[in-house]
Chains A and B, each alone.
Chain A
Amino acid sequence: MDRLSQPRENSQEHGNGMFGFTVFLLSESVIFLSLFATYILLRSIAHGWLPRGVSPLEVTQPAINTAVLVSSSFVIYFAEKALDRRHLNQFRLLWLTTSAMGTYFLVGQMIEWSHLKFGLTTGLFGSTFYLLTGFHGLHVLVGILLQLLMLTRSFKPNNYTSSHFGVSATALFWHFVDVIWLVLFSLIYLWRP
Chain B
Amino acid sequence: MTQDIQMGNAGSDPQPNRWRYFSFSTDHKVIGIQYMVTSFIFFLIAGLFSMLMRAELLTPELNLLSRPLYNGLFTLHGTMMIFLWIIPCLVGLANYLVPLMIGARDMAFPRLNAIAFWLIPPTGIFLLSSFLLPSGTAQAGWWSYPPVSIQNPSGHLFNGELFWILSVALLGISSIMGGVNFVTTIVRLRAPGMTYFRMPIFVWTVLSAQLLQLFCLPSLTGAAILLFFDLAFGTSFFDPFKEGSPVLYQHLFWFYSHPAVYVMVLPALGIFSEIIPAFSRNPLFGYISVALASFGIAIVSIFVWVHHMFASGTPGWMRMLFMFTTMLVAVPTGVKVFAWTATIWKGKLHMETPMLFALAGIIMFLFGGITGVMLGSVPFDLHVNNTYFVVGHFHYIVFNTITMAIYAAMYFWFPKITGRMYAEGWGKIHFVLTFIGANLTFFPMHPLGLQGMVRRVSSYNPQYQELNIVASLGGFLLGISTLPFIVNIVASWLQGRPAPNNPWHATGLEWTVSSPPPVENFEEIPIVTLPPYSYGHDQLAADTPTQK
Contact = CB atoms under 8 A, between A and B. Distances in A.
Given A16-B109, A24-B176, A46 B243 contact: yes
A32 to B, nearest CB: 8
Contacts of B454: none
Contacts of B179: 23, 27
Interface in B211-253: 214-219, 221-223, 225-226, 229, 233-237, 242-245, 248, 251-252
B219 A34 contact: yes
A110 B304 CA distance: 41
A23 B219 contact: no
B401 interface: no
B360 interface: no
B432 interface: no
Contact of B188 (A15, A27, A35, A37): A15
A120 interface: yes
B96 to A, nearest CB: 20
Q: Which of A17, A31, A35, A42 has the most CB of B within 10 A?
A: A31
B443 to A, nearest CB: 38
Interface in A115-149: 120-121, 123-124, 127-128, 131, 135
B97 to A, nearest CB: 20
Contacts of B218: 27-31, 33-34
Contacts of B235: 120-121, 127, 131
A187 interface: no
Contacts of A123: 236, 242-243
B180 A27 contact: yes
A38 B248 contact: yes
Nearest to B172: A31
Contacts of A121: 233-236
A131 B229 contact: yes
B108 A16 contact: yes
B214 A19 contact: no
B184 interface: yes
Interface string A7-32: 00000000111011101101111110
What's the dominant secondary structure at chain B's contact region? helix
Interface in B482-505: none
A126 to B, nearest CB: 8
B236 A16 contact: no
A1 interface: no
A27 B176 CA distance: 8
A45 interface: yes
Contacts of A17: 109
A47 interface: yes
B243 A127 contact: no
A135 B235 CA distance: 15
A37 to B, nearest CB: 8
Contacts of B108: 16, 20
A30 B248 contact: no
Contact of B236 (A24, A27, A28, A127): A127
B187 interface: yes
A32 B216 CA distance: 12
B180 A20 contact: yes
Contacts of B216: 30
A47 B214 contact: no
B180 A45 contact: no
A33 B222 CA distance: 9
B225 A135 contact: yes
Interface of B: 108-109, 176, 179-181, 183-184, 187-189, 214-219, 221-223, 225-226, 229, 233-237, 242-245, 248, 251-252, 255
Q: Can you list the 8 inter-chain pairs with the closest CB atoms, starting with the nearest?
A: A34-B222, A30-B218, A127-B235, A20-B184, A31-B218, A27-B214, A34-B219, A20-B180
Given A30-B218, A38-B248, A124-B237, 10 more contacts: A16-B108, A16-B184, A23-B179, A28-B218, A33-B219, A38-B222, A38-B226, A42-B245, A47-B243, A120-B235
10 contacts: A16-B109, A19-B184, A23-B183, A28-B218, A31-B222, A33-B218, A33-B219, A34-B223, A38-B248, A47-B243
